[in-house]
Amino acid sequence: FFDMSIEKSRGILQQHKTHSLPPTMSEDTVWRAKQVYDAMVHPDTGDIIPPPFRMSGFAVFGTPLIVGMLLPNPTLFRTIFFQSINQTHNAAVNYSNRNASQPTAMKDLVTGYIGAVLSSVSIAVGLNQLVARANVSAATRTMLSRFVPFPAVATASSCNMLLMRRSELSTGISVHDSEGVVRGESKAAAKSAILQTLVTRVILPAPLLIIPPVAMMLVNKTPLLKRFPRLALPVESLVCVAAFVFGLPFAISMFPQVGTISAKDMEPEFQGLTDSNGQPIEKFSFNKGL
């Protein structure tokens, strides 16, 4: 989204809201403005999300970390370093794209971050130690070590999100009717939002940390890589970028950012409500978070 500034997109959307768009402006331009705005601005707070923590920038800023975690023959220092940096980035992404209808306590942020780093490092180091002691060939040991990052990252990302957002289960999150009016805070909606985000967090790293090792096992056997082994790192980087480009949209699109929940599945106070036209409200919407 480099062809339109956030200021321009905000102005276009404001004009669209007030029905004051220039007659010459196309519908495609308006949709483009909405894409830019949604990618850069938090839906609850209206704050601009820093580029490294936007989902639209995840591939650019996350690829070096994925490549670092997937490098063969990981040392203890490299495992701890890349897992820690990756979870620091994930924590910032989680916070920047959270449901912000309710305030998040600083202790939840700190607990989530520490829990994610400790779980990712302990799982990665523990599995690497198991692989190193396994009674298998050197080639098999190298192959197995390249799959260690996935369970470590998936577990830590889930832990990070759950610890950071656990307060939502007791306070609830804001829900809106079809007219955009906030009707209160729902714990049922919070449970649905967290569950959907948890599934996304488990699936998201799968294509990023499973496809590249499999692809590189095949590519490393080609005559080109055997002749020029130094090409392995740039080739793996390209494979990681491709996995990001195709895997990230798939994981994120599993559940829309604006979720819906039926009134009958919510607390009693949300049942039997009517909108401004006197029609019964059957569904409510909420910001799921990413």
pTM of the entire predicted model: 0.69
**Bridge partners (DSSP) listed for residue 284:** 261
For residue 174, give the 3-state DSSP assignment: strand
φ, ψ dihedrals at 81, nearest 5°: -65, -55
Residue that is written with structure tokens 């449901």 in the block: 99
130: Cβ–Cβ under 8 A, 6 or more apart, which residues?
Answer: none
11: Cβ–Cβ under 8 A, 6 or more apart, which residues?
Answer: none
Q: Write out the two tokens for 149.
A: 């990052």
Print pLDDT tens along the chain (290 aa): 456 788 888 888 888 888 888 888 888 888 888 888 888 888 778 888 888 888 777 777 888 888 888 777 778 888 889 888 888 888 888 788 777 777 777 777 787 788 778 888 888 888 888 887 878 787 777 777 878 888 888 888 788 788 778 888 888 888 988 888 888 889 999 999 888 888 888 888 888 788 888 888 888 888 888 888 888 888 888 888 888 777 777 777 777 878 889 989 999 988 888 888 888 888 999 888 76
Spatial distance between the Cα atoms of 213 and 250, rounded to a whole number of angstroms: 19
